[in-house]
Chain A
Amino acid sequence: MAYRYLFEQMVRRELRQKYRGSALGVLWYLINPLVLMGAYYLMFGVIFDQVQEPNYPLFLLVGLVVWVFFNQAVVSAAPSLLDQGALVRKARFPREIIPASVVTVQLVTFLALLALLAPVTIVIRGTFDVALLLLPLVLACLFAFVLGIALAVSILHAYFRDVAPILSAALLPWFFISPIFFRPESITDQAKARFVLEWVNPIAPFIGTIRDVIYGGVVPGGQELAYVVVAGAVALRGGHALFRRLQGELAVVV
């Protein structure tokens, strides 16, 4: 991989450029999701406290970090190829590096938040379960899934400038139907509605499995695990294939 160092450079550039000159610098990468999580916690954990879950704040926060990673990664990946238009028009290098570096920066933030959250959860639950061994696998699948979506979204947005606005509009309702502040089984008895909430929404099984492992301390169901492995592989393969197919004219359209 001749361009390994370029990838490293792009990640560092992405990390440092955005908040350069601001007093808190890269800390903003942590502050933004923390504020967002604080707001949602206030909303659903305190004001509308309807859910019967032990340690509901932790239940909520584990789901939220997953969502925030997914949300931030695709939203910042969408315009990334246009943002780096000067490079795309003038140099020849694997263009996947651009959205991949954006997603990687968000992954670093996500892992940092998880590293803050997971020990607290484990200490409060009081048991250190073998289920945690599944965490690397599930996180790898999540990364593959998000990267695949980010590749697809970034290349599509370079050609069709409506993609990023559509995405921003879709993400808000998508957030509310994702099982972040509720469990599907606790808000509906209808089998059809549950099926949609649990399986049709592709991010739901990721939230479910990661929450099982970190918050519940239990091994996720086999179906859910299989789902995240397949969804990660399919999204990455599909996203990359689409990117490859469309990238030829990039230097002309950005």
Chain B
Amino acid sequence: MSAFEDSLRPGEIVLENASRAFSVRADRGRTLKEMLIGRKRAGGPPPVEALRDVSLHIEPGETVGMVGRNGAGKSSTLRVLAGIVPLNAGRVGCGGQVVSQLELGAGFGREFSGRENIFLNGALHGLQKEQIESRLDAIIAFSELGDFIDAPVATYSSGMFLRLGFSIAAHLDADVLLIDEVLAVGDEAFQRKCEARIGEQIAAGATLVLVSHDASLIERTCERLVVLDGGRKIFDGPVDEGMPFYHRLMGTANAVPSPQ
């Protein structure tokens, strides 16, 4: 945690002139030989600029949808906001407890039971044992896993796996929720439950940043829309103005949003 982050209010998100490029070579690790010889292998595609001079200020309690083509920089932005990937230039900060759902169930130990994985995942977010214990029943109930909670995660279906992942993330008292296209979880009933749970967290004051290709989900959940293209922010405003802009960009202006 930087001093800059400490200066932010819980739920506030700041991204200032943020730039980040990724090398796209297949073998990402540099070898010792290269370091000793002091030169890099030539050739290969140039680095991909995932974020180019993006600035964003999100107030506590705002709900922001983020859309764009594949490769527009949406997931990179979330990884930067989550503090997992550092910036090449600019600065970033999120105030308070940040809960990122970049990939539900990431880091689950497959040989461990669902219950054990709840403890590990809680600990990954900096929670202590007692804090996790106090939420354990709610998490298990929400996941609808029943007796499977004590079975190894390796025996879970993919739907069960994701349900457990969402249930944990949804009970961590987030000030900032970063969600990347993971709501297509389980069956329709569970999806509705997830949306309702996110709604509760927003009502409790959490800030939401949601990346999704599901336009109607964003319209239902978010008030503000950010459109990214080629690593640049090309729209930032109310969602009802942003969606027509986004549809024009994608050439789907006449497409009918999926009925809900």
Using a CB–CB distance below 8 Å, which chain A residues touch chain B? 2-6, 8-9, 13, 16-17, 20-21, 84, 86-87, 89-93, 158-163, 166, 248-249, 251-253
Verify if B98 is at the interface (C-beta below 8 Å from A): yes
Using a CB–CB distance below 8 Å, which chain B residues touch chain A? 22, 28-33, 35, 79, 82-86, 98, 100, 102-103, 106-107, 109, 111-112, 119-120, 123-129, 132
Instruction: Please name the 7 residue pairs, one residue from A and one from B, whose CB atoms are nearest each other, closest first.
Output: A90-B106, A6-B123, A162-B32, A2-B126, A87-B107, A92-B83, A248-B86
Q: A5-B128, A87-B106 are in contact. Are A160 and B29 (CB under 8 A)?
A: yes
Q: A4-B128, A90-B103, A91-B100 are in contact. Are A163 and B32 (CB under 8 A)?
A: yes
- The DSSP consensus for interface residues of chain A is helix
- A13 and B85 contact, CB distance less than 8 A: no
Contacts of A5 in B (CB 8 A): 123, 127-129, 132
- A90 and B109 contact, CB distance less than 8 A: no
Give Cα A166 to B79, complex, Å: 33
Contacts of B32 in A (CB 8 A): 160, 162-163, 166
Contacts of B35 in A (CB 8 A): 160
Q: How far is the CB of B223 from chain A (nearest CB, A)?
A: 27
Closest partner residue, chain A, to B79 (CB atom) = A251
Q: A5-B128, A13-B112, A21-B111 are in contact. Are A162 and B123 (CB under 8 A)?
A: no
- B84 and A91 contact, CB distance less than 8 A: yes
The one of A16, A90, A248 that contacts B102, using a Cβ cutoff of 8 Å? A90
- A162 and B83 contact, CB distance less than 8 A: no
Closest partner residue, chain B, to A248 (CB atom) = B86
- B124 and A6 contact, CB distance less than 8 A: yes
Closest partner residue, chain B, to A156 (CB atom) = B32
Q: How far is the CB of B211 from chain A (nearest CB, A)?
A: 15
Closest partner residue, chain B, to A252 (CB atom) = B85
Q: How far is the CB of A87 from chain B (nearest CB, A)?
A: 4
Contacts of A8 in B (CB 8 A): 123, 129
Contacts of B98 in A (CB 8 A): 92
Give Cα A217 to B79, complex, Å: 56
Give Cα A253 to B23, complex, Å: 10
- The DSSP consensus for interface residues of chain B is loop
Contacts of B103 in A (CB 8 A): 90
Closest partner residue, chain A, to B82 (CB atom) = A92
- A17 and B111 contact, CB distance less than 8 A: yes
Closest partner residue, chain A, to B22 (CB atom) = A252
Give Cα A84 to B107, complex, Å: 8
Closest partner residue, chain A, to B102 (CB atom) = A90
Q: How far is the CB of A216 from chain B (nearest CB, A)?
A: 41
Give Cα A249 to B80, complex, Å: 12
- B126 and A20 contact, CB distance less than 8 A: no
The one of A89, A93, A163 that contacts B126, using a Cβ cutoff of 8 Å? A93
Q: How far is the CB of B180 from chain A (nearest CB, A)?
A: 10
- A20 and B111 contact, CB distance less than 8 A: yes
Closest partner residue, chain A, to B119 (CB atom) = A9
The one of B30, B100, B112, B123 that contacts A3, using a Cβ cutoff of 8 Å? B123
28 pairs of residues in contact across A and B, judged by CB atoms under 8 Å? A2-B128, A5-B123, A5-B127, A5-B128, A5-B129, A6-B124, A6-B126, A9-B123, A13-B109, A16-B111, A16-B112, A17-B109, A17-B112, A87-B106, A89-B84, A90-B100, A90-B102, A90-B106, A90-B107, A91-B125, A159-B30, A161-B29, A163-B32, A251-B79, A252-B28, A252-B85, A253-B28, A253-B29
Contacts of A21 in B (CB 8 A): 111
Contacts of A160 in B (CB 8 A): 29-32, 35
Q: How far is the CB of A172 from chain B (nearest CB, A)?
A: 19
Q: How far is the CB of B33 from chain A (nearest CB, A)?
A: 7
Give Cα A154 to B98, complex, Å: 27
The one of B82, B86, B120, B128 that contacts A13, using a Cβ cutoff of 8 Å? B120
- For the complex with contacts A2-B126, A86-B107, A159-B30, 18 further pairs of A-B residues with Cβ separation under 8 Å are A8-B129, A9-B119, A9-B120, A13-B120, A20-B111, A87-B106, A87-B124, A90-B84, A90-B107, A91-B100, A91-B125, A92-B82, A92-B84, A92-B100, A163-B32, A251-B79, A252-B28, A253-B28
Contacts of B120 in A (CB 8 A): 6, 9, 13
- A161 and B31 contact, CB distance less than 8 A: yes
Q: A5-B128, A86-B106 are in contact. Are A162 and B111 (CB under 8 A)?
A: no
Q: How far is the CB of B88 from chain A (nearest CB, A)?
A: 10
Give Cα A166 to B197, complex, Å: 51
Closest partner residue, chain B, to A13 (CB atom) = B109
Q: How far is the CB of B117 from chain A (nearest CB, A)?
A: 10
Contacts of A13 in B (CB 8 A): 109, 112, 120
